[in-house]
Amino acid sequence: MKRKFLSKAASILMVILLVTTLAACGGKDSTSNDSEQPSKKEETTTKADDTDSKEVVKEIEKPEKIHIMMTTILTEENGHKQLIDKYKELSGIQLEITKPDHNQYYEKVNLAFASGDIPDVIELGGTNYTTYAVNGALWDMTDAWESSDLKASGIVKEQYVDALKLDGKLYGFPMAKGNGTITYVRKDWMDKLGLKAPTNYAEFLDMLRAFTNEDPDGNGKNDTYGITAAGLINSETPYDIYLREFYQDAKPDFYQKDGKYVDGMSEPAMKEALQRMRDAYAEGLIDKEIITNKTSTCRDKFYANQVGAFNYWAGYWNVNLETSLQAANPEGSVMPIPPIAETKYIERPPTALVITNKAKNPEGIFKYFIEYSHDGGEGQMLFTRGVEGVHYETKDGKTVALPYIATPEKLFEKALYSPELSITDFDDPIAFDERVTNSLKMFEENSFIYPIPRSSEVISANLPELNTLKNQIVAKIVIGELTVEEGIAQYESQGKAQIEAILADLNK
């Protein structure tokens, strides 16, 4: 953990690029400032040592400027500048934000580390977080968190902080809950066909058969499928976040079983899951284009009466899906359903805000940006709901969201952190649409937090190639080119070297 990342950045860059390619959704040095004349200092007290009862004052300097790289912050056309200006007004700190295009985000992150042009704060998720942590690129914020006013306040749901710890150390702070996907169905189709939400796998298949064979859109054509997804395996962990009804208790990943890491692809549960998908695909219940679909393709098919069910994000997406559906089908409606008895939904580990080792004043950044933006009050209001008069307004004692500047047909949802996914006891003054709260409640009552993926040089060097093979084999099995037994045998044979290397590293 203590090794300097920059000294080896060039040698591991290609490995990291391979890892993050699977998850694909210059300037000056760090702009954090440790000036001798900070605009403000925060005083905390700590014991000098066990033999000295006197307390010493540790001053946390406020940085004058913080350089942040992230992908989820609001866009320039929707009030980006107003957010930065308001933060400076409230804190005295200038934010410099780099916001790469979403589809190129991790490519730009990797290039920043390789070039040495590293921001102070970066948004990192999944294997990207663990890879940079184990390579020594991130500041260890464990002590800062443990001694923070934020922790002492008791407002943070600490299971989300703990979810980001690696061997007991914290290298990033959760932006919000990880959230996850829930199965949405066409409620208008359910009503027309006299269906109720399925409670087990057999009932789930019956629902898909009705969506496929009973002309739910009433056009007299055999042109609908039961379910679709953006691929058979997700492009990043959790790999089985979609198609939960088929995966059930299978995990196409390395995980601990009876105290020892195993390759989930070779476990009996995975073979059973593959057979379920293969059978449903052969019956015509699964969209034939599932292997090449993107998430946007799935949404479009849902709106266009081509599929009756698909698995997508809980929360605001319930509203977004129904709004878009009704634009094309005014009588259409969307309903989330609980997981069937054989499975649960998966909550991703939270996406982290990390402070890099290039930052000159990490303690000040933690105090005045990370803590402040999760304070349950002024700071959190700014970084969730935005700027008053721009993104929300209060009249007659009622606070309401204003329309997006660039897309006024939609109400503003978030500045940086999703308010409905807050990890603190944030008393949000803006009421949520009941569809948001209902889908989140259903999800949170029926899900578990997926463990943060482990990473190492061995895993980073071997996992990308193995994941490519895994995707190819699963696709061939499901579409009928290989039997389950043939496919798993081929996977174990062709991936033998990578599988053995990863398991040896995990179990050492």
Phi and psi at residue 276, in whole multiples of 5°?
-60, -45
Contacts 24+ apart (CB under 8 A), 319-323: 319/433, 319/435, 319/436, 321/184, 322/435
Q: Residue 448: pLDDT above 50?
A: yes
Please state, for a pLDDT cut of 90, what percent of the chain lies above it.
83
The Cα 342–Cα 322 span in angstroms is 27
Mean pLDDT along residues 287-293? 97
Task: Say what the pLDDT of residue 48 is.
Answer: 36
Task: Say what the pLDDT of residue 368 is.
Answer: 98
Q: Return the minimum-mean-pLDDT range out of 50-54, 177-181, 489-493.
A: 50-54
- The contacts of residue 176 (CB under 8 Å, 6+ apart) are 350, 351, 417, 418, 421, 422, 423
Mean pLDDT along residues 387-400? 97
Q: Residue 129: pLDDT above 80?
A: yes
The Cα 508–Cα 498 span in angstroms is 15
The Cα 26–Cα 118 span in angstroms is 9
Mean pLDDT along residues 135-164? 97
CB 274 within 8 A of CB 192: no
Q: Residue 18: pLDDT above 50?
A: no
Q: Return the minimum-mean-pLDDT range out of 15-24, 35-44, 116-125, 423-432.
A: 35-44
Task: Say what the pLDDT of residue 457 is.
Answer: 87
Given its phi and psi angles, is residue 116 left (phi above 0), alpha (psi -120 to 50 degrees) or beta?
left
Q: What is the pLDDT of residues 218-251, one digit of tens each?
A: 999 999 999 999 999 987 788 899 999 999 999 9
| Stretch (H or E) spanning 329 | none
The Cα 101–Cα 491 span in angstroms is 35
What domains lie within the chain, and their CATH numbers? 6-46+56-176+350-424 (3.40.190.10), 181-347+451-506 (3.40.190.10)
Task: Say what the pLDDT of residue 126 is.
Answer: 86
- The contacts of residue 335 (CB under 8 Å, 6+ apart) are 184, 185, 186, 187, 190, 197
Q: What is the pLDDT of residues 323-347, one digit of tens each?
A: 999 999 999 999 999 999 999 999 9
Q: How many C-beta atoms surround the C-beta of residue 386 within 10 A? A: 25
Mean pLDDT along residues 291-320? 96
Mean pLDDT along residues 385-390? 98
Q: Do the bridges between strand 225-228 and strand 52-61 make them parallel or antiparallel, or are there none, so unpaired? A: unpaired
| Stretch (H or E) spanning 71 | none
Phi and psi at residue 164, in whole multiples of 5°?
-100, 0
Task: Say what the pLDDT of residue 102 is.
Answer: 85
Q: Is the pTM of this model over 0.85?
A: no
Task: Say what the pLDDT of residue 269 is.
Answer: 98
Dig out the tokens for 18 from the structure: 């391979």
CB 167 within 8 A of CB 453: no
| Bigger pLDDT: 132 vs 127 | 132
